[in-house]
Structure 1
Amino acid sequence: MLTPTRLIQLLIMLSLLIGLFVWRTLSFESSEQSSSEQSNQVSKTDQLVCQLSKPCVLESASGRFILTVEEGEVVPDQPFNISLTSELKNWTVSDAKMVSEKGFEGKISVTLVPVESINHSITYQAQTMVGACSEKNASITLQITLLIDDKTVPIEYTFLVAN
């Protein structure tokens, strides 16, 4: 039988459950926002997400670097050509590799070699590729270690590869 005391207990429990549901929903959304904001912040390196159909410009504290994919898209297991350009005078590429976000494709070493400078800018070029992934869209990062005036500077370009 539903007595007034039991009715009050049920209403209190119902309000408590609704309050917890609302609190959990709001706290989940705010934690999701803060984690996406943290992932957009750069901690150790300068990083940029690129659309490969046009040159990808990275403005960093160390200088301006432009990555170009000649083919305009990246197809898994197919070679493509990249160029890295900067108007800085004293910089070299000491290391470069393609790394998958999930790590399934492994790391692919990239050998960027200098070519003749045009308009007082230095350009490095390479032919590279990315491995196939089981996911529909894979996030691939080109990690480059630069030497600028004898100082090591890491930069990253991230892009999506459709499988």
Structure 2
Amino acid sequence: MSRKPFGVSFETWIDKQIREATERGEMDNLPGAGKPLPGAGRPHDEQWWIKNYLKREGLTAESMLPTPLQLRKEIERLPETVAQLASERDVREVVADLNRRIVEWLRAPSGPLIRVARVDVDAVVEQWRADRPVPPEPPARPEPVRKKARWWRRL
């Protein structure tokens, strides 16, 4: 039995699978063949794979935050969110949905224990009304000019 020469490694099972697939032609015409690896030539970023995942899935970094922080950010953005709504009913629905999610989290908190309180619907609606531009008054109709009755019609 001969020994392995110094500096030569045994072919691993993975290397064998790759070599056999290449011999069968299964590695030909793969997508991305001949293209540089993502991130090659850029400064080293330990979290490149997270950034690529978020970009590929169309997610934001905010979606990775714990639930209470997501809720607090939504509360902070609430004035901008409701400013785009057209009716008071829509504003109340948006705030009610946010309050429902806050109550769900308060019933079974997960993640860091961060204080999150329900939003006062009436205060948001009042602020929404105050921020809305005042609709222009409809133009006043001119008073109809009454003709003086002729003397023969006065009788």
Q: TM-score, normalised by structure 2?
A: 0.28
Greater share of strand: 1
Q: Max radius of gyration: which structure?
A: 2
Greater share of helix: 2
Q: TM-score, normalised by structure 1?
A: 0.27
